[in-house]
Amino acid sequence: MSAPEAPGHTADAFLGGRLTLGQPARGVRAGSDAVFLAAAVPARPGERVLEAGLGTGAAALALLARVGGLAVVGVEIEPGQAALARQNAARNGLADRLAVVEGDIAAMTPATLGRLGTPTPFDHAMANPPYFEEEASRVSPDPARARARVAGAGALDLWVARLAEALAPGGTLTLIHRAEALGRVLAALEGRLGEVAVLPLAPRRGQPAARIIVRARKGSRAPMRLLAPIVLHRPDGRYTSAAERVLRHARALCLDPKQRNVRS
């Protein structure tokens, strides 16, 4: 029998029970966004991935559960979240494949990462950045939640810059964000990465997208592609088969124009 969770924490199943994550019962909690982010990273066995904003490790561990022989380095500024990420990696048998670096991604230049024992370049990078800018948002009184959800002006550009610097030529950067932030995401990528693919995630058929997954490649000049949306919920509220494949069955999301995802 597994040990009980610490007071104020819950144990939550992801990927149809393939992963169990300890999380705060209130405050910063991972959900479907982290799983969709991990599903869109085109990583292969033997490669290395850098994640900014690791949190409790949901996206990193979902990616590691899907791709064997992969290694992830996660940067997390909140010590409590970093500790939970280490615990979650251990409880899922993935501690040897996830390295947790405590610190601010804004300070993680290639030189700094090297001094911390995580040399660049990486094959892929990913992030679920703070969704709101401080100037336009009410800041949560919970410091960890506030830092995870709200960032100062220009933070997105800095996150993208640091992740792009850490990539090898041809490496990919994958982000998930609010649909309204597409303009800011594209502006941050401009001049740094190309071959941008945008995959909208719509709550229901006929509704505007609420989230976007954006993937770009370092050193590419290929034009941007706007992909057909994936619909997440049926009219009765159940997940569509496309969402089930990702959330329950740990399937990858393909942003390659030569292949197609199931859309409903």
What angle do the packed helices 182-189 and 155-165 form, to 10 degrees? 40
The whole-angstrom separation of Cα 264 and Cα 134 is 36
Per-residue pLDDT of the chain (264 residues; tens, 9 = 90+): 455 577 788 999 999 999 999 999 888 888 999 999 999 999 999 999 999 999 999 999 999 999 999 999 999 999 999 999 999 999 999 999 999 999 999 999 999 999 999 999 999 999 999 986 645 545 445 554 445 444 555 799 999 999 999 999 999 999 999 999 999 999 999 999 999 999 999 999 999 999 999 999 999 999 999 999 999 999 999 999 999 999 999 999 999 865 555 444
Q: Which helix (H) or strand (E) covers residue 39, if one does?
A: helix 32-39
| Per-residue pLDDT reduced to its tens digit, 10-43 | 999 999 999 999 999 888 888 999 999 999 999 9
pLDDT at 151: 52
pLDDT at 1: 41
- Please check whether residue 156 lies inside any domain of the structure: yes
Q: Which helix (H) or strand (E) covers residue 72, if one does?
A: strand 71-76
- Please check whether residue 84 lies inside any domain of the structure: yes
Q: What is the pTM of this model?
A: 0.89
Q: Can you say whether the dihedral through the CA atoms of 120, 28, 263, 208 is positive or negative? A: negative
pLDDT at 171: 98
- Please check whether residue 161 lies inside any domain of the structure: yes
CATH number at residue 58: 3.40.50.150
Q: Please say whether the beta carbons of 100 and 54 come within 8 A.
A: yes
- Please check whether residue 247 lies inside any domain of the structure: no
- Please check whether residue 225 lies inside any domain of the structure: no
- Please check whether residue 208 lies inside any domain of the structure: no
How many domains, in total, are found in the chain?
1
What is the DSSP code (8-state) at residue 67?
S
- Please check whether residue 82 lies inside any domain of the structure: yes
The whole-angstrom separation of Cα 221 and Cα 217 is 9
Range of the domain at 101: 9-192
**Radius of gyration in angstroms for the set of CA atoms belonging to the chain, rounded to a whole number:** 17
